[in-house]
Every structure is written in C-alpha cells, then in structure tokens.
Amino acid sequence: MQLILIRHSKTNVDPKTPICQWGLSEEGISLAQKLSNEPEVQSLDVIYSSLQTKALETALILAKPNAIPIKTDDNLTEVTSFTKEHFGYKYTQNVSDFYSGKVLRLANGESADEGLKRFNEAIEMIEKVETAAGIFKAGIVSHGNILSFYTAQFSDLTPIQIEQRIQMPDYAILDTRSQKITKMFGSDK
C-alpha cells in the first residue's frame, strides 16, 4: 500500500481554545486548496483523518474537489491531543525537551512511545481494512509530532530533524511493502 502522510494545514492559534479545536487560518485554507491540486493527493482512493478540527478541515479541503471519501480515526491524533494546555512562548523549548527525552510528556499527554504505538496500530488496521477492500493508496491527515515520530521509523532522519523540516501543510509518501519513504516531508523528492 502507498500511504500519503499529510500534515494538516496552518492553524488559527487561539490560546483560549483547546488545541484540538483549532481550525485552519485563512492562509491555511488557501494552502490546503493548493495541496488539493497535487497529483499525489488527486489520485488518493481514501483519506483518513484525525478528529481534530484542523485535520478534519484539511481533509475536507483535499477530498471535496477530488471526490475522495473521508474516514476518521481518533487514533491518528497528536501526542498532545488529550491536553487542554497551550504552550505559548515555551513551545519550542518544550518540544525540544520532549524530542530529546528530557521530558516524557508534553502537558501530561502521551509519551512519544505511547503515541507511536497507538499510531502504528491505527495505520496497521487501516492498511489491513483498505487492502482487503481493494484500496492501495490512502491519505492520512494527522499532526506534526506524531508524523515525525512515525516517519522516522522509515528514515535515516531523527524525529526532531523531521519535525524541523515538516511544513503546514506538507506530505511524505511511504510504500508500506518496501517500508521506504519515497518522498520526505519538506522536500520535492
């Protein structure tokens, strides 16, 4: 199966709103519309999305003009999704500490290992269900941290290196049979 791993588009940051409810900014909507014209997106058979607003909005913008069905799976959510804390000015330091292992959890969310286990299981189930249904190209709309940890399993890059290069929106391509990334986040190839 070919997975197009898609990071959601740019968000409208609102410290008064829980992070999982942030929607896309006007720029984010425009960027997602542009991404919907990419041949890799247009050729998807199905799109799976996290249930966070920013991911759902991105999935809808990608799917609608291309008549791609959308399915949701809350197990595709971010490692910090179960928190209501906004990191504000401390975000960069907190993320650096999380990736380096200095802190186990961001705002009492999951550890990287817990999040990765959950995400891996979700991807395995999606692959099993969709392959049985004759689907061989699926989009996964998710979030930067969890996608960085997931993608690093198939790359020479570390999770923090991927997190530093991943854009909003952005996509990587994984061939699950060969376990190879054929396009990495932050690159044209």
Q: 80-91 pLDDT, tens per residue? A: 755 555 555 566
Let me know if 39 is exposed, middle or buried by CB neighbors in 10 A (0-12, 13-18, 19+).
exposed
Per-residue pLDDT band at 44 (split at 50, 70, 90):
very high
Asked if residue 189 has pLDDT above 90, the reply is no
Q: Where are the domains of the chain?
A: 2-183
Mean pLDDT of all residues in 32-48:
98
In this prediction the pTM is: 0.94
**Closest among 36, 29, 59 to 47, alpha carbons compared:** 59
Q: Which residue has 């997106």 as its token pair?
A: 41
Q: Please, which residues have CB within 8 angstroms of residue 65's CB and are 6 or more apart in sequence?
A: 36
Q: Which CATH number fits domain 2-183: 3.30.70.1230, 3.30.413.10, 3.20.20.140, 3.40.50.1240?
A: 3.40.50.1240
User: Would you state the structure tokens that stand for residue 88, as one six-digit string?
Assistant: 């504000």
Query: Which runs of consecutive H residues, i.e. helices, occur in the chain?
Result: 26-35, 39-42, 53-63, 91-100, 112-132, 144-152, 159-165
